Structure 1
Amino acid sequence: MIFAAAIDVALVLVFVLIGRASHGEDLLGVLNTLWPFLGGLAIGWLVMRAWRSPLRIVWTGIGVWLGAVAGGLALRLVAGQGVQPSFAIVTALVLGAFLLGWRGIALLVRRARSRS
């Protein structure tokens, strides 16, 4: 469970670092962008009770992804950071690829190990 949560947090951080690097932001800019998405990720983990089956894509992975995206964007709006439609689309796509993608890879690895 802790391993899965750490991967999710690390991938959200990678998403933010990639985005902030394209804007030449400093550490404060990274932290300012990061916290809403970590909050959304936490919401997704809590709502989905992801600790029960953290590697499942359906429903856990989808719920965690939607929590990170919707919660993160909502927290950005509340904090006055603004959300452009293009940013929301990129956020949904990249976090979807990251948060669902690693779970898909883990599933493939588990299946391959069980066959051998």
Structure 2
Amino acid sequence: MAWVYLLVAALFEIGWAVGLKYSQGFTKFWPSVLTIAAMVLSLFFLAVAVRSIPVGTGYAIWTGIGAVGTATLGIILFAEPVTAWRVGCLLLILCGVVGLKIAAP
């Protein structure tokens, strides 16, 4: 169940990272409220997950999924550039996340 909590935490991390763009520096009320709520939920689920998963593994996977998901949504939602370098680096992060999951006890 800890891995499910970690995935939920990572999804909320993606949500708050993207929410930062919509909140426009916390100047828009509802996007700011939703962003802060996603931050709290993300950290809560991460804390629950690392009760059972090694903290280094959990944190690295949380940030890796968050980074890949946020960068992907940046491309989709905000027309951020898609280059071979960006895609290659995102794939390397994804490989690292999968490797950490495989290596976890």
TM interval, shorter chain, is 0.3 to 0.5
- Name the TM-score, length of structure 1 as normaliser: 0.34
The normalised TM-score by structure 2 is: 0.37
Which of 1 and 2 has higher RCO (CA within 8 Å, sep 6+)? 2
